[in-house]
Structure 1
């Protein structure tokens, strides 16, 4: 690299490799001078980490790795608290229930295991070459995608029985799946370039999305179940309005110019103000959902970013990579970073202070700051007692 090459003010220096025995250092926040984004690096897996999830009120992290193990980490100290062994091949995905008592893990060894975190023992399995798996928010169901017959399988976790199996659900291998916030729909993506919505009540596909020109690798709902985002190897993400259905006539909103490589994963923040995406270009991009533009580019991973996650308070981004590491990024003060403020100004946005929390936020130069006086966080907080779109519709129904 030449001395004259432009320096990305958000770029992070790659931390020096350390052994698993020195993992206590990973509990310390690090900060590259120009980045102004604090981060932690967690090390302990021997191979690529393919799945990561905040759990137990963001105090713990669950990971699944190509080293055939899953692990639970302490966010504060960065230490690995528990390792679970039992799979005989790469673990493609793992997912914990809301009370952090059980989790499911899917593997290339053609099994899905359902684990009790107290005993660490396998209490159930399901045959199939597993490419993705997730528990419902209630923990009652596990959904599994497999490249055997391109199937979607629904499993009752309490009884350990298959209750639905849709063979040839896609024309090619399923790549990801997610339950809707209300647990009444399952969205699946595939290497066939298609995204499908399967209804758990009618037991059929109700919506099919087409628009990407390559493999669709990831999908996520926002908390209000208004929008669905899909990420693709075509380097783009598309946001589909599934609440009002405007995508049927207007098409989806396309998010581009954030990554130079294929997108591997995407996730909305809990408050809906941001979207994070991971890519094979080794970066994590945080998107501003007010402007639908990249807000931060987080650099530091040395290989493909395989999964991303937001903490419930939307202040932290978690990422994992083929470089065998986890990174915990503190983005709580991202709106105050000079490069972010300058980027918003260049887009024709004004920066004003929220009258509630006193933090800066952006509005259009044509907007009146006396009218738009609260940031999206405070507006969401104030509107929590306002009925949602679905609740309003239910209240209007007769009887």
Structure 2
């Protein structure tokens, strides 16, 4: 055995030590010449006019929910690639995150405008907006529902975490750092 280094990621399963380097290169090139490259089918969903900030599969992976810096969120059909519903005119600034309530009837969007909106998935209308007195003082970066679909948590660049009651639309817990 020689002190020759063998690349463990090489396409060559073994390197015959008796062959010249030229033969190894020839064999390596022939593997690539005849091997078809794997193709992964993709669909491009077009509709947002600015950067997409969030993306979630939902409804048994038949839909995709996205949020964008264009101040909108959208629900897409994964088969056709069509936007089924666009949630717009609810925020004054970029939407940083979107989350689908587990019962799949509501959507929450968090924004750089320091607001949190709850949307009806059937009508596309806003159900409620976080109360002015309970707003974060900076960009809301993330939002998530609890497993029982009773509360939504929001986190902000102001270093606070707020827990919102979905029925009363009030903050039930605020954690300040």
Q: CA deviation at 1:123?
A: 1.8
Q: Deviations over 1:168-190 (max 9, x none)?
A: 1xxxxxxxxxxxxxxxxxxxxxx
Q: 2:154 aligns with which of 118, 126, 144?
A: 144
State the TM-score, normalized to the length of structure 2. Answer: 0.72
1:51, 1:80 → 2: CA distance? 15
Q: Distance in 1 between matches of 2:44 and 2:109?
A: 23
Do the aligned partners of 1:97 and 1:138 also contact (CA within 8 Å) in 2?
no
TM-score (norm 1): 0.33
Matched, 1:118 2:128: no
Structure 2: runs of 5 or more not aligned: 1-35
Contact 2:102-2:145 at 8 Å conserved across structures = no
> By how many angstroms is 1:99 displaced?
2.7
Residue 50 (structure 2) pairs with residue 41 (structure 1): no
- 5+ residue gaps, structure 1, are 1-32, 169-399
From 75, 78, 85, the equivalent of 2:78 is 75
> 1:98 is paired with a residue of what secondary structure?
coil
**Is structure 2 residue 63 aligned with structure 1 residue 54?**
no
* Correspondence list, 1:1-20, <5 A: none
Pairing 1:249-264 to 2, within 5 Å after superposition: none
Does the residue aligned with 1:40 lie in a helix, a strand or coil? coil
Number of residue equivalences? 135
Query: Offset at 1:61?
Result: 1.0
CA distance in 1, matches of 2:56, 2:147: 13
Aligned to 2:171: 162
- Which residue does 1:28 correspond to in 2? none
Question: What residue in structure 1 maps to residue 12 of structure 2?
Answer: none
Which runs of structure 2 are paired with 1:221-232 in the superposition (5 Å)? none
**Structure 2 residue matching 1:41: 3-state secondary structure:** coil
Deviation readout 1:141-187 (Å, 9 max, x if unpaired): 10100122x0011111122111100011xxxxxxxxxxxxxxxxxxx
Q: Does 1:64 align with 2:67?
A: yes
The aligned residue for residue 251 of structure 1 is: none
Question: How big is each residue's C-alpha offset from its partner over 1:290-347, in whole Å with a ceiling of 9 and x where there is no partner?
Answer: xxxxxxxxxxxxxxxxxxxxxxxxxxxxxxxxxxxxxxxxxxxxxxxxxxxxxxxxxx
The one-character-per-residue Cα deviations of 1:264-302 (angstroms, maximum 9, x if unpaired) are: xxxxxxxxxxxxxxxxxxxxxxxxxxxxxxxxxxxxxxx
**What SS is found at the alignment partner of 1:153?**
strand
Deviation at 1:120, TM superposition (A): 1.6
User: 2:145 matched to which residue of 1?
Assistant: 135
Query: Which residue number corresponds to residue 106 of structure 1?
Result: 110
Larger fraction in strand: 1
RMSD: 1.3
